[in-house]
Amino acid sequence: DSADMDTVLQYTKSHYAAPNPAYFGQAKGKNVIVIHLESFQQFLIGMKVDGQEVTPFLNSLYHNKSTISFSNFFNQVGLGKTSDAENMLETSTFGLPTGSLFSSLGTDNTFQGAPAILNQIQGYSSAVFHGGSGGFWNRNNVYKGLGYQYFFDGNFYDHEGNATTEYGIKDKLLFGESIKYLEHMQQPFYTKIITTTNHFPFFITDTDTNFPNAGTSDDTVNGYFQTAHYLDQAIKEFFDYLKSSGLSKNTLVMLYGDHYGISNDRNQALAPLLNKDPAQWTSFDNTALQRVPLMFYGEGLKGGIQSQYGGEIDVLPTLLHLLGINSQDYVQFGTDLLSKQHSQVVAFRNHNFITPQYTVIGSKVYANQTGELIQPTAQLKKTLDADQAKVDEKLDLSDNVANKNLLRFYTPPNFKPINPKAVDYMRSLT
Ligand code: GP9
Ligand code: MN
């Protein structure tokens, strides 16, 4: 009941991290385009196969002077995969310990999501572009609750010929076809493009790629580099459009990887390509590979590679602060990655965690610097126990918010609750 909500508010208020004045409002009033890099892991950045960069465009973007990039940013998804990532990014609350929050609670729960906040505080319009079925992960219902005004799902795209792969139309076609909808959006807009080509089983035809086969014993691993390369080309084409149309002048582009593409049981096939001995591969290495990209690109932004630790839960307060909206009044479990007060203890959905120094997996502790399993001293054990308690508290409170639908008991100042029933995404088709 509302007493549970008070406990949550006490937590979020006391864990609030104030914006960094060097970044607050740096992208104020700009359009926002979020690019969802399906199954894209950080190790792809800078990686080469047969001497060729897998993702040359994203590599250049990562190092661009107008890009704020993160080198220790982790996915925190559970079984809800893509939907958990979306949920964290749109609300700064966690997915559920089992299943997908979007699927099980997404239709009826109260949300105070990014599109609603941006619309109500700064007049943003909003849309999602995704060339697959709108019902996947219950998006067609959840997006209404998040405050999305438009959802251009597979119904809005051409599926003739060989346009479609398992989860949607191919990324180059998705970006290309989305432009005509994007151009009708009232500015400033907050939009998200959800790619799908770089999704397991990472299938791609020879007509869509000439990228070398990595030649490992695992075809899934080999395909991964080819579909990631294709995705990279699709993004380059889209950026060419942003430049030529002039949109890039007043747009902040945020790119993120949602979760792993190569699962832990395939990492040994991947190991040699990362110059690692498969026989020495450990849970520490599996955890290290949970890094995914996070980049903010915008003309005039003060870019650079940031090495502080953080995760998907931290994105929304970071974004809001860049746009000049204080996150203080919202129920958010992450903290602004650019804030001096940002917490660098990164919780995984299964309660394991990583800090800048240590990786804690159940009762095992690894030192990040060496990757070695260590026996913590009594002093260190105390510190890590305290970190574990923080992780547990944060996840449990977020679960309470979700399972008890607590946000219906709290409306932030200047926020009007969203009525999902008032939205019809198919109206522009009828
Ligand atoms: C489908 C896509 C895939 O629409 O987003 O979701 P995933 O399998 O990665 O959770
Ligand atoms: Mn996904």
- The pLDDT > 90 percentage for the chain reads 98
Q: How far apart are CA 157 and CA 153, in angstroms?
A: 7
Looking at ligand 1, which atom is closest to the CA of residue 36? 5
Do you find a cis peptide bond into 201, omega within 30 degrees of 0?
A: yes
Residue 116, SS3 per DSSP: helix
Helices (H) and strands (E) in the chain, counts: 12, 19
Q: Which of 67, 82, 251, 335 is catalytic?
A: 82
Q: What are phi and psi of 77, to 5 degrees?
A: -75, 160
Q: What are phi and psi of 367, to 5 degrees?
A: -85, 125
Helix (H, G, I), strand (E, B) or coil at 317: helix
In the residue annotation, 7 being an active-site residue is answered as: no
To 5 degrees, how large is the angle CA 229–CA 232–CA 237? 130
Distance (angstroms) between ligand 2 centre and the Cα of 39 equals 5
Written as six digits, the tokens of 231 are 């995705």
The pLDDT of residue 377 is: 98
Exposed/middle/buried for residue 386 (C-beta within 10 Å: 0-12, 13-18, 19+): exposed
* Residue 136 CB–ligand 1 contact under 6 Å: yes
Distance (Å) from CA 134 to ligand 2 centroid: 15
229 lines ligand 1 (CB under 6 A): no
Confidence of residue 428 (pLDDT cuts 50, 70, 90): low
Q: What SS3 class is residue 297?
A: strand
Ligand nearest to the CA of 78: 1
Amino acid identity of residue 321, one-letter, is H
pLDDT, tens digit (0-9, with 9 covering 90-100), for 314-354? 999 999 999 999 999 999 999 999 999 999 999 999 999 99
User: CB–CB of 144/134 below 8 Å?
Assistant: no
Residue-wise pLDDT for 48-90, tens only, equals: 999 999 999 999 999 999 999 999 999 999 999 999 999 999 9
Distance of CA 357 to the CA centre of its chain: 23
Tokens found for residue 211 = 């990228």
* pLDDT for position 429: 63
The CA distance from 211 to 229, in Å, is 7
Distances (CA, A) of 148 to 69, 119, 390: 27, 9, 32
How many of the other CB atoms lie within 10 Å of CB of 195? 28
Among protein residues, the one with the nearest Cα to ligand 1's atom 9 is: 82
Helix (H, G, I), strand (E, B) or coil at 53: strand
Selection from 221, 82, 77, 219 nearest residue 139 by Cα: 82
Q: Is 139 in the pocket of ligand 1 (CB under 6 A)?
A: no
pLDDT digits (tens, 9 = 90+) for 355-383: 999 999 999 999 999 999 999 999 999 99
Q: Which atom of ligand 1 is nearest to the CA of 38?
A: 9
**Mean pLDDT for the stretch of residues 131-139:** 98
Burial of 300 (0-12, 13-18, 19+ CB in 10 A): exposed
pLDDT score recorded for residue 1 = 85
Q: In angstroms, what is the span from residue 304 Cα to ligand 1's centroid?
A: 30
**Residue 260 Cβ contacting ligand 1 at under 6 Å:** no
- Averaged pLDDT, 292-314: 98
pLDDT at 430 over 60: no
Average of per-residue pLDDT across 181-192: 98
Closest ligand relative to 169 C-alpha: 1
Q: What is the pTM of this model?
A: 0.98
- The pLDDT score that the predictor gives to residue 144 is 98
Average pLDDT over residues 173-201: 98
What's the mean pLDDT when you consider all of the chain? 97
Nearest to 312 by CA among 23, 106, 92, 101: 92
Pairing assessment for the beta strands 168-169 and 164-165 based on DSSP bridges:
antiparallel
Q: 261-265 contacts: CB < 8 A, separation 24 or more?
A: 261/38, 261/39, 261/40, 261/41, 261/198, 261/199, 261/200, 261/202, 261/224, 261/228, 262/41, 262/220, 262/221, 262/224, 262/289
Residues with CB under 5 A from ligand 2 (ion): 81-82, 258
Distance 203 CA to ligand 2 centre (A): 15
What are the tens digits of pLDDT across the range 145-155? Answer: 999 999 999 99
CB burial of residue 217 (10 Å; 0-12, 13-18, 19+): exposed
**Residue 82: CB within 6 Å of ligand 1?**
yes
Orientation angle between helical segments 219-245 and 171-182, nearest 10 degrees:
30
